[in-house]
Amino acid sequence: MGMTISQKILAKKSGKEFVTPGEIILADVDLAFANDVTAPIAIKFIEELGVDLFNEDKVALIPDHFTPNKDIKSANQCKIMRDFVKKVNLDNYWETGEVGIEHALLPEQGYIKPGMLIVGADSHTCTHGALGAFACGMGSTDLGFAFATGKSWFRVPESIKFIYSGKRNRWVGGKDLILYTIGKIGVAGALYKSMEFTGDTISLLPVEDRLTMCNMAIEAGGKNGIIAADDIAFEYLRNHNVKDGDWDVLLSDEDAEYSDIIEIDTSNIEPQVAFPHLPENSKGLSEIKEDIKIDQAFIGSCTNGRISDLRVAAEVLKGKKVAKYVRLIIIPATVDIYKQALSEGLFDIFLSAGAAISTPTCGPCLGGYMGVLADNEVAISSSNRNFVGRMGSPKSFVYLANPAVVAASAIAGKIAGPDEVML
C-alpha cells in the first residue's frame, strides 16, 4: 500500500518510512509563523520556558491583522512582537509599510517550497499547500512549542482526493471551485482530513487560484489542502526568489488509500455565491432569483487579494461607477501587489469607480477595522468566512464570491454577475 503526498511529507519529517492515518507523530518543522493576534501568546510561552528560538531562519512574525494599529490594544500586541524581534534580532519580520497578509506574503517572498512542513498560528495556514507543502494552522501554545523545539505533533490525517475535470467557464476561478466543493460536502465534510486537489482542471490552474482553494480547505473542516507541485508551480517558485530545484517534490502513490474520492465536472460550475452564515450555503449565480441589495463590497484578504484578483476586478470596474450608497473597499494583500497594481493603472480604475483603497491588512475580513458592518448591513466579500458577526455586527449579513462578482455587485448595488454590468 502506498502513501498520499500528505503522508509522505509527514513520514519524511518524522523520520519514518511509512505513516498510517490516525498515527500520532512528532515531526520536524520547516517554517513556523504567527501574526499580531497569535504571536504574543507564543512569545510569552517560550519566554516563560526560558529558551531560545530553535532556528531563527525558520521562524517568521507577520503583523498583518490589525496593522497599521487600529487602537491601543492592537498597538500593544504589535509592540510585544517588535520588542521580541529586536531582542532576538529576528530577520523574518515585516513592519508596517512592508508587511503583507501572511498567507500572501510568505509565498511571494519565496518562503514556501514543495515538500515543506509548515505550521502557523492562523487557521488559513493551509493556503501554502498550493505549492506542494503540508501546511496547517494550530494554537499559539502549540506554535510556541514549535518555536522552541522545531517540532510539532500531528495525528496523521486521512485524505480525500478531489478530481476536477473539464474546462472552466468564464469568470470561474479557484474561489468558485472551492465554494462549489464546500457546498457539496459541507463545512464538516473534510473534518481533520487532507483535501488533495487533482485533475486536469487543477493542472491548468494558476498558482493564485490554487492558493485560494487550499486557503479555504479549513472551511470544509480540512486539516490541510494540498496540490502536487508541477511545472506551473515551479515557474511560480522561480519568479518568487526560489532557486531552480530548491524543493522536494513528493507525489501520491497510485495505490495510496483515500477515505473518499470525489469527482467534479468543472464545466458544470458557474460563479458561486455563498449565502449567510456558512461557506457551505453556495449557489450558482443563475440560482439566485431574488434581488439581494448590498451596502458594502470587499475585495482583498488572504483568499483573493492577489494581483490576478485585482486585475479581474479592474476588468469589471473599468469605466463604471459604484452604486450610490454602496462602499467598495479594495485591499491589496502585499506591498508588492500594491505597487504592481499601482504601476498597471488599476488604482486609477478603482478610484474612478469610487472605491477606497487601503495599505495591506486583514482588517475587514475578520471585522477588525477598515470596513466593519453595522446592524442589518449586507456585504459581499472575496474573503473566506461569512459566519455570524464575522465582519462586524452579529446582525449583519455576509455573502462570499470571487472578485469579479464582488466588483459587479458593487456596480449593480445588488449581487450580480460580471456579464450583467458589462453589457
Question: What does the alpha-carbon distance between residue 211 and residue 349 come to, in Å, rounded to a whole number?
Answer: 26
For 127, list phi and psi in degrees, rounded to 5: -50, -40
Q: What is the pLDDT of residue 1?
A: 82
For 124-188, give the DSSP string: GGGGGGGGT-EEEE--HHHHHHHHHHSEEEEEPPEEEEEEEESPPPTT--HHHHHHHHHHHH-TT
Question: What does the alpha-carbon distance between residue 170 and residue 150 come to, in Å, rounded to a whole number?
Answer: 45
Is 102 within 8 Å of 64 (Cβ atoms)?
yes
Q: What is the pLDDT of residue 29?
A: 98
Give the pLDDT of the chain (423 residues) as one tens digit per residue: 899 999 999 999 999 999 999 999 999 999 999 999 999 999 999 999 999 999 999 999 999 999 999 999 999 999 999 999 999 999 999 999 999 999 999 999 999 999 999 999 999 999 999 999 999 999 999 999 999 999 999 999 999 999 999 999 999 999 999 999 999 999 999 999 999 999 999 999 999 999 999 999 999 999 999 999 999 999 999 999 999 889 999 999 999 999 999 999 999 999 999 999 999 999 999 999 999 999 999 999 999 999 999 999 999 999 999 999 999 999 999 999 999 999 999 999 999 999 999 999 999 999 999 999 999 999 999 999 999 999 999 999 999 999 999 999 999 999 999 999 987
Q: What is the pLDDT of residue 275?
A: 98
Question: What does the alpha-carbon distance between residue 258 and residue 311 come to, in Å, rounded to a whole number?
Answer: 37
On the CB side of 287, CA atoms within 13 Å amount to 12
**pTM as predicted:** 0.96
Is 246 within 8 Å of 216 (Cβ atoms)?
no
- pLDDT tens-digit map of 60-78: 999 999 999 999 999 999 9
Amino acid found at 380 = I
- For the chain, where do the domains classified as CATH 3.30.499.10 start and end? 5-265, 273-421
Question: What does the alpha-carbon distance between residue 307 and residue 207 come to, in Å, rounded to a whole number?
Answer: 12
Provide the CA 412 distance to its chain's centre, in angstroms: 27
Q: What is the pLDDT of residue 110?
A: 96
Fold observed for domain 5-265 = Aconitase; domain 3 (3.30.499)
Q: What is the pLDDT of residue 245?
A: 86
**Per CATH, is 273-421 categorized as 2.160.20.10?**
no
Question: What does the alpha-carbon distance between residue 175 and residue 187 come to, in Å, rounded to a whole number?
Answer: 15
Query: C-alpha grid cell for residue 371?
Result: 470596513
Is 372 within 8 Å of 364 (Cβ atoms)?
yes
Strand partners, 263: 163
Q: What is the pLDDT of residue 423?
A: 74
